[in-house]
Structure 1
Amino acid sequence: MELTTSTPKMLARKEAGIGWMTFNNPERHNAVSMEMWQAAESILADFAEDPAVRVIVLGGAGGKAFVSGADISKFESERSSAEAVAAYNAQTERVYGGLYRLAKPVIAMIEGHCIGGGVALATCCDIRVCSENSSFGIPAARLGLGYGLKGVSRLMSLVGPSYTKELFFTARRFTAAEAERMGLVNRVLPKGEVQDFVAAMAQEIAGNAPLTVTSVKRIVGEALKDEATRDAALCDQMVTECFASQDYIEGRRAFLEKRKPAFQGR
């Protein structure tokens, strides 16, 4: 099923429990404009509200880039004044923050360059899978750009403070192997194998119990907080809801009957 989007540079489809969102600006290595960020917000909101979508996959068109950051050719029209910068940053944070807070699992399917805003986008996802020819970098220090606390914190929660500083201070490109060593990506695969691997992973997740997956995602998020700010009661409630669900009954029955469970998310 294809979704109607506000720009042809953002593509979306739903298939077998998976919502696919693709940044479609390959002539600019999938650099993102304001209208693309606005379309991305709408697509993700649709995926979040649709109970048939259990997993979301983000990717870039063309096979040469995931997202290479902001479309610098649009800086004069979109980010030339303090007001325009504030509006642009607010829009991107609505996408980043909304993606990070999504209850559903999100996979970043990275092929080729993942630069600047691409890294910021990937850090908002739950799982990152890349091709061995991928490269990662944050060139903010070469452009005079500032990065806020939220974006830095998301990156640091994955790679730690030292690698976060190295990424920002040097502004250089890091290889897929380096990204895997620092914990920025979960898997590095040969070129040409990423899409099949991610599709299989997404299908596997989509076939599992949604309440369990959702609860673990939320509990991991709470575990990353300081102990004083964690919502332990919510975590306990989500675990209780799993055990009280029809899916728990279905999972037990399917195991005893040696068949694949048909989870409904309730």
Structure 2
Amino acid sequence: MPTISELPTTFAEGKILMTRAGDGVGIITFNNPDKRNAMSLEMWEGLGQALVALRDDDAIRVVVLTGAGGKAFVSGADISQFEQSRHNAAASEAYAERSAAQRALLAGYPKPTIACVSGFCLGGGLQIAMLTDMRFAAADSQFGIPAARLGIAYGYDGLRNLVSLVGPSQARLLLYTGLRVDAAEALRIGLIDRMIPNDELLPATLEIARTIAGNAPLAVKAAKITIAEVLKDESRRDMEAIKRTGDACMDSEDFREGRRAFMEKRKPAFKGR
């Protein structure tokens, strides 16, 4: 767990923790270490509640997701729930619908998100990590999608994110084999953005998160929106949204503050307006 002074807010009977780390950074911790942070339906719902709370907190500008216990970010879905909730196609569809809102919330999150990965990041855990804006991983982390070993078919959204990160051939290799790759290989194929020594992972992640949080929120938001539109098919791109967010930056108090701070050789105090 992150060593942050503030006591965490708990969701899903303590299996999801939310902490405000200061300097505009919020942390969500998957806290089910006895099961290597395997995701239950209750944890999915708790994740959504924590994401909404940090989304609606104007003091939070960046959200970091991490796992408790040091052995896993999220090791996948809680297999013990499968007999009851994912035993056939209809049940699996109902299960997916119950977690769809949380996945959509993370996919369209308005603030920057970072996955801070230590240990296992498998299946649904990798899906969560791929929904964040960037992924930093400890040197001992492992990644994989064991769907073929469980008889599970991954849907369009999950595979779209995987293919966009690693390309179709590497996606096929991961899915067809169900094999795990280490952090060095994950970095090589583009699945993660940085590999960091284990004991430096969280401090380094929080340093980057605080750097982002210290920049102009409207400019960061504009970058996030524009990159999301670039990744869409050309026919689906919202060019007006790009223009609106760009105009909002140029007309903002923060743009004036940035110019003044540069001329005065001081650190700017951005307010997000």
Q: Same fold (TM over 0.5)?
A: yes
Residue 6 of structure 1: how far off its partner (Å)? 3.5
2:14 alignment partner, one of 3, 8, 12: 8
Question: Counterparts of 2:12 and 2:43 in 1: how far apart (Å)?
Answer: 8
Which stretch has the larger CA shift, 179-188 or 3-12?
Answer: 3-12
For the 8 Å contact 1:34–1:78, the answer to whether it is kept is: no
Residue 95 of structure 1: how far off its partner (Å)? 1.7
Which residue of the partner structure matches residue 61 of structure 1? 68
Does residue 134 in structure 1 map to residue 136 in structure 2? Answer: no
Which residue of the partner structure matches residue 119 of structure 1? 126
Which residue of the partner structure matches residue 151 of structure 1? 158
SS in 2 for 1:146: coil
Question: Counterparts of 2:42 and 2:90 in 1: how far apart (Å)?
Answer: 17
Q: How many aligned residue pairs are there?
A: 266
Which stretch has the larger CA shift, 27-36 or 73-82?
Answer: 73-82
1:27 alignment partner, one of 10, 28, 34: 34
- Structure 2: runs of 5+ lacking an equivalent: 1-5
Which stretch has the larger CA shift, 10-19 or 36-45?
Answer: 10-19
Residues 35-66 of structure 1 show CA distances to partners (whole Å, capped at 9, x for unaligned) of 11111111111111111110000000011110
Does residue 94 in structure 1 map to residue 101 in structure 2? Answer: yes
2:221 alignment partner, one of 207, 214, 220: 214
SS in 2 for 1:13: strand
Identity across matched positions, percent: 47
For the 8 Å contact 1:24–1:61, the answer to whether it is kept is: yes
SS in 2 for 1:129: strand
- Give the letter for the 1:204 counterpart: T
Residue 192 of structure 1: how far off its partner (Å)? 1.0
SS in 1 for 2:59: coil
Which residue of the partner structure matches residue 25 of structure 2? 18
1:70 alignment partner, one of 77, 81, 84: 77
TM-score by length of 1: 0.97
Residue 82 of structure 1: how far off its partner (Å)? 4.5
Aligned-pair RMSD on alpha carbons?
1.2
- Structure 1: runs of 5+ lacking an equivalent: none
- Give the letter for the 1:131 counterpart: A
Question: Counterparts of 1:162 and 1:93 in 2: how far apart (Å)?
Answer: 27
Residue 25 of structure 1: how far off its partner (Å)? 0.7
SS in 2 for 1:56: strand
1:188 alignment partner, one of 191, 195, 209: 195
SS in 2 for 1:7: helix
Residues 195-217 of structure 1 show CA distances to partners (whole Å, capped at 9, x for unaligned) of 01001011111111000111101
Question: Counterparts of 1:209 and 1:26 in 2: how far apart (Å)?
Answer: 36
Question: Counterparts of 1:253 and 1:205 in 2: how far apart (Å)?
Answer: 20
For the 8 Å contact 2:10–2:16, the answer to whether it is kept is: no
Does residue 160 in structure 1 map to residue 167 in structure 2? Answer: yes
Residue 131 of structure 1: how far off its partner (Å)? 0.6
